[in-house]
Amino acid sequence: MSAGVVEFSEQRHLNDLKSVQGQLTLSNIMTPRHEFICCTANEPAQGVMERIPAVFDAVPVIDSTDATDTSAPIIGLLHRDHIPFRNKSIRAADCADASAITQAHPSNRNLLVYIHDLSGHPVEFVQEDGQIVGLVTPYDLERLPVRTALFAQIINVERLIGDLIRERFPDTVEWERLISPNLRSELQTGLARARGAESSGHAILSVGFGVKLDLLAHCFEGARNKSWALQERHEIRIFRNNVAHGAPFPDVMQLPGQVRNLIRLRILISGRIAKLKGQDS
């Protein structure tokens, strides 16, 4: 190996990905129990929502006479839109959602797994050793640990796209023939970089994400999933930009579908690589 050239290890990459994903859990984004804004079981439900800022869609209900008691048991969630409109005297405990306790998530749940299965509830509890230790809301999906988990997964898919391109079109002359006219300059810049002293291995590592996505379409020629893969190309480009640039997500409730599509694309690419390698053997 020549000086200045980094040797990429497949196993090291996978170990790094597993390490990052394994460490990013609900415990990294939840609001801890001592920071909860709660109400007591006997408070009038309407009165609770009048004193709680409108930004809160739900409030934990505790079995105590002191709303600031951080050691009191939580008996459920009081949802703003589940309170009987005309009943001014109904207690918080009478319309609290107790199922929120039984549906609490473990604090060590992987963030991608959580997002993949997101239910859409405005507030969900997090538990540890049978005790409620935190809560999560859709706003928490904007936090840095979530973006880190998402970006690690996107980078993994980008690496697989590169592997597929190398397997399908090993000669870069083919890339130049297939690439869209508006991306030819970007491709040439990447290939020039690959030939330079700063090169870190195969040419695919030096070309941009847009070039890879454009070449990806040709890798699925003749495949029954081609149309879906072409559609996903556009989504993953936008998704990657939103995650990487730190801009607010247009709609965090779209994240579960985007994560599922990302995982599906990864599976399709892996299957395509395996099929091409099988044809070569």
H/E stretch holding 39 reads strand 39-40
Sort 144 into a burial class: Cβ within 10 Å, 0-12 / 13-18 / 19+.
exposed
* Mean pLDDT, the chain, whole residue set: 89
Q: In what order do the strands lie in the sheet with 74-79?
A: 39-40, 58-62, 74-79
pLDDT at 9: 55
Burial 64-83 (b: 16+ CB within 10 A, else e): beebeeeebebbbbbbeeeb
* pTM, full prediction: 0.84
Which has more pLDDT, 245 or 279? 245
Q: Where in the chain is the domain with CATH 3.10.580.10?
A: 26-142
Instruction: Give the tens place of pLDDT for each residue, 26-55.
Output: 999 999 999 999 999 999 999 999 999 988
Instruction: Give the tens place of pLDDT for each residue, 152-176.
Output: 999 999 999 999 999 999 999 999 9
How many angstroms separate the CA atoms of 24 and 146, rounded?
A: 8
Classify strands 124-128 and 58-62 as parallel, antiparallel or unpaired: unpaired
Specify whether the CB–CB gap between 212 and 165 falls below 8 A.
yes
Q: Which of 29, 45, 120 is nearest to 77 (CA)?
A: 45
pLDDT at 75 > cutoff 70: yes
pLDDT band at 197 (very low <50, low <70, confident <90, very high): low
How many angstroms separate the CA atoms of 179 and 137, rounded?
A: 43
How many angstroms separate the CA atoms of 126 and 26, rounded?
A: 8
Sort 204 into a burial class: Cβ within 10 Å, 0-12 / 13-18 / 19+.
buried
How many angstroms separate the CA atoms of 134 and 74, rounded?
A: 11
Q: Looking at domain 26-142, which of 3.30.1370.10, 3.30.70.20, 3.10.580.10, 3.30.43.10 is its CATH number?
A: 3.10.580.10
Specify whether the CB–CB gap between 222 and 275 falls below 8 A.
no
